């Protein structure tokens, strides 16, 4: 009945009992009657869509766990067929799938295997597609005001269950390996879908590519030191090669996984609010319309949003930066050792608050822009997130490099405002003791090292260790709570003994966070930015990232396997909007690297701090302009060169297309053969003697039937006659030539 699931040997403790999805259903203290009615509707809808259901109590009385499974393999097979036909229509598959029924009954369609990811994806789609399209129409977390959103407001989450045996093997294997292989990525794809697999593939490629700048950077660091022109050029070139190579690799992977063009199959966003329903003038389809010009107007809000980000985050960073410089480099009064922590404290307190607020704003704005599809919404959101992260991550270094160092001498004296402010609070009213300012020449390097080493470690800790600790804590608190109320404690005892362990696991997973691959991408893209923009300051950057990413890959795997619910295995055919961010950072790197080399290479050589008046502005601008255009030209060349190489994915695509074309053209040729037998016109078809031919011409012209065209083509009927006439003409020409020659 269900042979398609891999089952471990110690079934009793690891089996998921073939559960496809768990619906976490909350029972509110009030509204019990509504919850009950909605529950009935939920189960009815699921059953109508073709799911088998089981219900079990949650950890506390406040929730139920509805366990859901595709009721029949035939339903799965037909869903798969339908999805594959859609893929074919959208050009994702080169070939039409074979209809089910010819399959072996194990849920597969003919000979194509069905991965757990495909099964889970289709099951999820069946749960969430509207009822009039054959699904159960369950929506999760829809904040809209539609009847659907209200109806399912008790559904807290819908998630698949982890395959513990696989996870254990996966984590175990990875911890023993130096480097991920293609097979590892494929396994992730089979379990967690292409979207997650693309992240790990990107991480792996990035890791491999990092080996070069790590080695080269270390060499440069030893031999040439910081701000080396050679390093800047090589680093920029590396960035281009990496970016262009990934673009090809991405397509390659998409083809290998059979998901190329999958982004054309758009999932409608349930939160989309249409303004009117219109009939499409072309297709006659009823479409939900939201005026694009209105959306464009709303998209323009991105400009004030970006401005707000710059003002809010920039203001905070600039203030803290100024305070820090004042305290560490100018101020020399009492409590200095404590006061130096002030900017750090300010940043730690306000930065997450502000970022959180702005992220909320970005979410709201993306929602306000009201996209029809998930992808468009996500892309818009990612764009905004990128703006926020760009400012929080890079502005500090930009300030040091392009404001503090060149203009420090002019600006630092203005920091006396802090002194004035401080004087008001101190009773004395005397000027605070200061020392004469001297630029800290290592400040830039220190800052880059902080962001590329310390911040990465802190980030790893918050990402990997904190959630685990938090969950431990919550569990303990919950246990204490449930021990206090005796009723819930014996709920566990109520479980059937053979299910008890399983249900405990399900309850655990219901409390986990959802895995969001966006966060992981963001981290990597921002990291790439440090490398591209600032690594010329400290060439060891790539070494640090190499170590970090080795751990990162494993900690991300752990995060998915242990700290998150199993992700819904969505498909994807690229890393999506992050690709643009990568390209942008790589391009911007050409500008900043040139500027950094130009500004600092001199100053370190001369041993003195350069002021903007020492630097010739036009030379700086010229070097930036030159570096940028060199970058763009090199990018074009690299793109062309990389395209020349054949990749396994494109080979596969070609092979598939070739096979299909061969098959179909064969059919045409067969058709031709049957057509051409007895076809006229070609010599060998009808045999006509000269006599009958001339007779025909005469007959036709006498009867007045022959059009001039017809008569024209009857003059030399058949190739043989044409040849005869032609040869005669050629012979004539030859003869004429000879006579001419004789003359």
Contact set for its own copies, span 629-648 (CB under 8 A) = 641, 644-645
Q: Which residues contact 564 (CB under 8 A, 6 or more apart)?
A: 512, 513, 514, 515
Q: Which of 20, 22, 59, 69 binds its own copies (CB under 8 A)?
A: 69
Q: How many residues bind its own copies (CB under 8 A)?
A: 113
Candidates 68-76, 329-337, 343-351, 601-609: pick the segment binding its own copies (CB under 8 A).
68-76
- Pick the closest to residue 516 from 388, 387, 354, 385 (CA basis): 385
Q: To 10 degrees, what angle do helices 466-484 and 486-494 make?
A: 100
Q: Helix or strand or coil: residue 52?
A: strand
Q: Restricting to residues 138-177, which ones interact with its own copies according to CB under 8 A? A: none
Candidates 52-60, 222-230, 341-349, 543-551: pick the segment binding its own copies (CB under 8 A).
52-60
Residue number with CB closer to its own copies (414 or 487): 487
Residue 295 CB, nearest approach to its own copies (Å): 8
Q: Which of 1, 427, 484, 703 binds its own copies (CB under 8 A)?
A: 1
Q: Which of 499, 511, 609, 696 binds its own copies (CB under 8 A)?
A: 499
3-state DSSP of 112-155: ECCCHHHHHHHHHHHHHCCHHHCCCCCCCCCCCCCHHHHHCCCE
Q: Which of 21, 50, 152, 321 binds its own copies (CB under 8 A)?
A: 50
Residue 435 CB, nearest approach to its own copies (Å): 34
Candidates 67-75, 213-221, 364-372, 433-441: pick the segment binding its own copies (CB under 8 A).
67-75
Residue number with CB closer to its own copies (411 or 660): 660
* Number of residues written out for the chain: 743
Residue 584 CB, nearest approach to its own copies (Å): 11
The yes or no reply on residue 294 touching its own copies (CB under 8 A) is: no
Q: Helix or strand or coil: residue 239?
A: helix
The yes or no reply on residue 307 touching its own copies (CB under 8 A) is: no
The yes or no reply on residue 732 touching its own copies (CB under 8 A) is: yes
What is the bridge-based pairing of β-strands 21-26 and 155-159? antiparallel
Q: Helix or strand or coil: residue 564?
A: strand
Q: Binding string, 86-125, against its own copies, x = CB under 8 A?
A: x--x-x-------xxx------------------------
Under 8 Å between Cβ of 566 and 509: yes
Q: Restricting to residues 448-487, which ones interact with its own copies according to CB under 8 A? A: 487
Under 8 Å between Cβ of 657 and 94: yes
Q: Restricting to residues 581-620, which ones interact with its own copies according to CB under 8 A? A: 616-618, 620
Residue 686 CB, nearest approach to its own copies (Å): 11
- CA pair distance 156, 525, nearest whole angstrom: 32
- CA pair distance 81, 103, nearest whole angstrom: 11
The yes or no reply on residue 236 touching its own copies (CB under 8 A) is: no
Q: Which of 20, 24, 75, 506 binds its own copies (CB under 8 A)?
A: 75
Q: Which of 672, 686, 694, 695 binds its own copies (CB under 8 A)?
A: 672
> Quick one: CA dihedral 506, 512, 515, 520, positive or negative?
negative
Residue 329 CB, nearest approach to its own copies (Å): 29
Q: Which of 4, 8, 18, 186 binds its own copies (CB under 8 A)?
A: 18
The yes or no reply on residue 137 touching its own copies (CB under 8 A) is: no
Residue 564 CB, nearest approach to its own copies (Å): 25
Residue 497 CB, nearest approach to its own copies (Å): 11
Residue 289 CB, nearest approach to its own copies (Å): 11
Residue number with CB closer to its own copies (136 or 220): 136
The distance in angstroms from the start CA to the end CA of the chain is 100
The yes or no reply on residue 301 touching its own copies (CB under 8 A) is: no
Residue number with CB closer to its own copies (178 or 645): 645
Candidates 64-72, 405-413, 534-542, 691-699: pick the segment binding its own copies (CB under 8 A).
64-72
Residue 534 CB, nearest approach to its own copies (Å): 21
> Quick one: CA dihedral 24, 29, 32, 34, positive or negative?
negative
The yes or no reply on residue 208 touching its own copies (CB under 8 A) is: no
Residue 525 CB, nearest approach to its own copies (Å): 19
Residue 51 CB, nearest approach to its own copies (Å): 8
- CA pair distance 430, 292, nearest whole angstrom: 63
Q: Which of 621, 686, 699, 705 binds its own copies (CB under 8 A)?
A: 621
CA distances in angstroms from 126 to 123, 168, 378, listed in the order given: 5, 29, 22
Q: Helix or strand or coil: residue 64?
A: strand
The yes or no reply on residue 694 touching its own copies (CB under 8 A) is: no
Q: Which of 229, 379, 624, 630 binds its own copies (CB under 8 A)?
A: 624
119 CB neighbour count, 10 Å cutoff: 20
Residue 154 CB, nearest approach to its own copies (Å): 10
The yes or no reply on residue 688 touching its own copies (CB under 8 A) is: no
Residue number with CB closer to its own copies (461 or 736): 736
- CA pair distance 543, 207, nearest whole angstrom: 11
Q: Which residues contact 267 (CB under 8 A, 6 or more apart)?
A: 373, 374, 375
Q: Helix or strand or coil: residue 276?
A: strand
Q: State the Cα torsion 62-63-64-70 to the nearest 10°.
A: 170
Q: Which of 182, 215, 296, 345 binds its own copies (CB under 8 A)?
A: 296
The yes or no reply on residue 35 touching its own copies (CB under 8 A) is: yes
What would the two tokens of residue 216 be? 């080269």
Q: What is the DSSP string of 475-522?
A: HHHHHHHHHHSHHHHHHHHHS-HHHHHHHHHHHHHHTSBPP-HHHHHH
The yes or no reply on residue 297 touching its own copies (CB under 8 A) is: no
Q: Which of 4, 78, 167, 383 binds its own copies (CB under 8 A)?
A: 78
Q: Which of 39, 221, 272, 550 binds its own copies (CB under 8 A)?
A: 39
- CA pair distance 32, 29, nearest whole angstrom: 7
Q: Which of 175, 481, 683, 705 binds its own copies (CB under 8 A)?
A: 683
CA distances in angstroms from 393 to 242, 460, 554, listed in the order given: 22, 16, 24
Q: Which of 282, 493, 677, 703 binds its own copies (CB under 8 A)?
A: 282
The yes or no reply on residue 435 touching its own copies (CB under 8 A) is: no
For residues 297-314, one letter each, b for 16 or more C-beta atoms within 10 angstroms of the residue's C-beta and e for the rest, the string is: eeeeebeebbebbeebbb
The yes or no reply on residue 15 touching its own copies (CB under 8 A) is: yes
147 CA to centre of own chain: 32
> Quick one: CA dihedral 85, 87, 91, 97, positive or negative?
negative
Residue with tokens 């083509």: 713
Q: Which of 625, 690, 692, 705 binds its own copies (CB under 8 A)?
A: 625
- CA pair distance 694, 715, nearest whole angstrom: 8
Q: Which of 22, 59, 80, 81 binds its own copies (CB under 8 A)?
A: 81
Q: Restricting to residues 651-670, which ones interact with its own copies according to CB under 8 A? A: 651-652, 654-655, 657-661, 664-665, 668
Q: Restricting to residues 702-721, which ones interact with its own copies according to CB under 8 A? A: 707-713, 715-716, 718-719
What would the two tokens of residue 478 be? 């919950």
Under 8 Å between Cβ of 81 and 100: yes
Residue number with CB closer to its own copies (73 or 520): 73
Residue with tokens 């570096």: 627
CA distances in angstroms from 318 to 229, 324, 398, listed in the order given: 29, 10, 11
């Amino acid at each position: 009945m269900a042979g398609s699931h891999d089952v471990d040997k110690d079934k009793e403790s690891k089996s998921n009992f073939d559960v496809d999805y768990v619906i976490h259903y909350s029972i509110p203290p009030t509204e019990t009657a509504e919850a009950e009615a909605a529950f009935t509707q939920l189960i009815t809808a699921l059953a109508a869509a073709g799911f088998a259901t089981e219900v079990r109590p949650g950890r506390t009385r406040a929730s139920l766990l509805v366990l859901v499974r595709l009721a029949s393999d035939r339903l799965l097979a037909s869903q798969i067929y339908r999805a594959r036909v859609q893929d074919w229509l959208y050009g994702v598959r080169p070939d039409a799938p074979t209809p089910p029924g010819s399959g072996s009954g194990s849920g597969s369609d003919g000979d194509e295997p069905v991965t757990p990811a495909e099964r889970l994806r289709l099951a999820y789609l069946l749960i969430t597609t509207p009822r009039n399209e054959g699904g159960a129409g369950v929506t999760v977390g829809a904040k809209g005001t539609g009847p659907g959103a209200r109806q399912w407001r008790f559904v807290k989450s819908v998630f698949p269950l982890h395959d513990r045996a696989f996870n254990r093997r996966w984590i175990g294997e990875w911890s023993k390996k130096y480097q991920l292989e293609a097979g590892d990525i494929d396994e992730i794809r089979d379990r967690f879908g292409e979207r997650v697999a693309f992240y790990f593939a990107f991480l792996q490629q990035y890791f491999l590519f990092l080996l070069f700048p790590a080695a080269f950077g270390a060499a440069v660091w030893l031999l040439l030191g910081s701000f080396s022109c050679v390093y800047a050029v090589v680093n920029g070139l590396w960035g281009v090669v990496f970016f262009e190579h990934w673009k090809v690799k991405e397509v390659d992977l998409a083809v290998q996984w059979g998901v190329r063009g999958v982004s054309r199959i758009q999932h409608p966003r349930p939160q989309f609010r249409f303004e009117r329903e219109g009939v499409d003038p072309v297709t006659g389809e009823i479409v939900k319309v939201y005026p694009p010009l209105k959306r464009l107007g709303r998209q323009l809000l991105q400009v004030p949003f970006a401005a707000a980000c710059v003002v809010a985050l920039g203001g905070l960073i600039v203030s803290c930066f100024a305070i820090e410089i004042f305290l560490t480099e100018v101020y020399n009064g009492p409590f200095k050792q404590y006061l130096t922590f002030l900017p750090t404290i300010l940043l730690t307190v306000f930065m997450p608050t502000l970022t959180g607020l702005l992220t909320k704003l970005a979410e709201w704005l993306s929602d306000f822009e009201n996209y029809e599809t998930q992808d468009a919404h996500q892309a818009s959101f990612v764009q905004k997130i990128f703006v926020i992260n760009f400012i929080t991550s890079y502005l500090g270094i930009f300030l040091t490099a392009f404001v503090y160092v060149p203009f420090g001498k002019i600006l630092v004296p203005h920091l006396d405002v802090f002194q004035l402010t401080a004087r008001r609070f101190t009773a004395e009213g005397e000027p605070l003791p200061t020392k004469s300012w001297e630029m800290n020449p290592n400040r830039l390097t220190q800052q880059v090292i902080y962001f590329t080493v310390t911040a990465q470690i802190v980030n790893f800790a918050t990402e990997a260790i904190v959630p685990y600790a938090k969950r431990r804590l919550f569990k303990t608190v919950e246990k204490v709570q449930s021990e206090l109320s005796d009723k819930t404690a014996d709920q566990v005892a109520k479980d059937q003994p053979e299910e008890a362990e399983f249900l405990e696991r399900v309850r655990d997973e219901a409390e986990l966070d959802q895995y969001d691959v966006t966060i992981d991408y963001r981290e990597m893209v921002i990291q790439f930015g440090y490398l591209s923009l600032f690594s010329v300051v400290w060439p060891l950057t790539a070494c640090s990232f190499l170590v970090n990413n080795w751990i990162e890959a494993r900690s991300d795997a752990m995060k998915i396997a242990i700290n998150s619910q199993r992700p819904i295995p969505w498909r994807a055919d690229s890393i999506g909007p992050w690709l643009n961010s990568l390209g942008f950072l790589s391009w911007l790197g050409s500008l900043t690297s040139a500027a950094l080399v130009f500004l600092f290479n001199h100053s370190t050589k001369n041993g003195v701090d350069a002021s903007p008046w020492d630097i010739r502005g036009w030379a700086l601008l010229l070097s930036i302009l030159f570096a940028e255009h060199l970058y763009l030209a090199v990018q074009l060349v690299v793109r062309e060169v990389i395209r020349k190489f054949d990749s396994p994915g494109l080979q596969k695509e070609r092979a598939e297309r070739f096979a299909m074309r061969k098959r179909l053209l064969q059919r045409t040729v067969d058709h031709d053969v049957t057509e051409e037998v007895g076809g006229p016109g070609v010599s060998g078809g009808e045999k006509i003697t000269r006599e009958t031919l001339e007779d025909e011409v005469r007959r036709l012209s006498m009867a007045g039937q022959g059009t001039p065209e017809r008569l024209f083509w009857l003059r030399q009927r058949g190739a043989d006659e044409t040849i005869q006439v032609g040869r005669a003409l050629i012979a004539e020409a030859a003869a004429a030539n000879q006579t001419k020659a004789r003359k």
